[in-house]
Amino acid sequence: MSTTKTIKSALISVFSKDGLEPIVRKLHEHNVSIYSTGGTEEFIKNLGIPVIPVEDVTSFPEILGGRVKTLHPKIFGGILNRQNNETDVQQMKEFDIPQIDVVIVDLYPFEKTVASGASESEIIEKIDIGGISLIRAAAKNFNDTVIVASVNEYSLFLEMISQGNATTTLEQRRLLATKAFHTSSHYDAAIFNYFNTDESVLKVSIDECQILRYGENPHQKGFFFGDFDAIFTKLHGKELSYNNLLDVDAAVNLILEFKNQSPTFAILKHNNACGIATRRSMKEAYLDALSGDPTSAFGGVLIANGKIDEATANEINSLFCEVVIAPSYDEKALNILQEKKNRIILIIKDVPLPQRQLRTCLNGILVQDKNNITDNKEALKSVTITTPTNLEIEDLIFASKICKNTKSNTIVLAKNGQLIAAGTGQTSRVDALKQAIEKANSFGFDLKGAVMASDAFFPFPDCVEIAKNAGITAVIQPGGSIKDELSINYCNENKVAMVFTGTRHFKH
């Protein structure tokens, strides 16, 4: 039997009529019999094209306010019958079931209804029953039946029947069936996640996918599954890469720690801040962030917590950077930043980010709540005789925010609202501290009066001793070691202030 099928009949029942007219006209042009229901039936009639009401086939009207329209053996028999099965062919004749070659259906907008803040009763009514059943039936029987399950497939289907003179190949029907099962599974996942309160069950389905140039390295394929445009408006530049996106994610999470605060500018490289400063103006914040590590800033991702003005843009323009992110730009600043053809310029929108984090692990997925605790003055517990000054407290909180968003093991050194240096991703906390001190010294920073933040407790006093000898006068750490007293005693003997937060901020 030929795998090419000629379309002679179609069932069309859709929620959205956008883009439907050209398909209906093309089917009519090829003398295809069209069955339909409700609003879709009226739409087709208004085009002046003959349409057969489904109730004429079923001898049963729509009931329950439209909840039941197509759920009938004569409809599903017409879709599910196997044309090469003698028993099916005989039963089609016996029960006078019309053959249905094409099903065009789209589902009630469940996700949009939920996002709109509608009441639960309105949301429940947007759980499609007939549509989802039609999709599964037609997709299951792709050997004989064509399924068009979403407006996203309208143009593809129209191209198929236009080029094939209302015929389809088995490969085309299988392709549309695959897309249909994606539509139905995504829809079911959205409904489940609306109802689900069991955190031990995970269902993730993302419609949007961007194919990236490559992954972390050129020999790796890369994809981004997500709605990038929901978070950013891209104003200029080349396409973002896999590594760009990771850095942008790290930059956004860091700058959110400084939302609605004084002008703060951060420069990130390989997911870690190499420079960040809080100042009276954005230009000052940028320049002091850059001075923290002008070498690493080359090719980095830049992010501000407020508008980038002309003066700041002029300074940025002399640096090669991959991405610039801000809530807004003035017109002159934007013109300056756009002088570099490939520089990516993004406006970040004020939208909530996901509160759960996922990553692959072995043959599964690790899931955790997002680390939403930001250390503040109220959380600090002074554990030493020497207490930090008000300025030191400000710097301790500043350093803690950076530490939270830096790869473990990490030590952050800060002074006067500026990142002096950080030791990142080390296997020992002592190594992290030594790395930070060496880096600070290499860029000419005076560590006298600086503060130190650690993402986890000190099991021994070695770190506070090294820090004190470098000139550091105050320390912030979570505490919780059975040997906390060793570090506390050293600080007391050497007039170093230490505060505990009670919260560890590992970031692996």
Catalytic residue set: 140, 270
Cα–Cα distance list, 127 to 12, 119, 193, 321, 421 (Å): 19, 13, 13, 47, 54
Burial letters for 125-136: b for 16+ Cβ neighbours within 10 Å, e otherwise?
bbbbebbbbbbb
Query: 78 with 101: CB under 8 angstroms?
Result: no
Whether cis (ω within 30° of 0) applies to the bond prior to 409 is: yes
Question: DSSP string covering 155-181, please?
Answer: HHHHHHHHHTTSEE-HHHHHHHHHHHH
DSSP for residue 499: E
Q: Identity (one letter) of the amino acid at 67?
A: R
- The tokens describing 69, both together, are 């329209």
3-state helix, strand, coil in the chain (%, to 5): 40, 20, 40
Place of tokens 């068009």: 148
Q: Return d(Cα 442, Cα 180) in angstroms, integer.
A: 59
Query: 69 with 40: CB under 8 angstroms?
Result: no
Burial letters for 244-254: b for 16+ Cβ neighbours within 10 Å, e otherwise?
bbbbbebbbbb
Q: What is the 3-state secondary structure (H, E, C) of 412-450?
A: EEECCCEEEEEECCCCCHHHHHHHHHHHHHHCCCCCCCC
Query: 468 with 489: CB under 8 angstroms?
Result: no
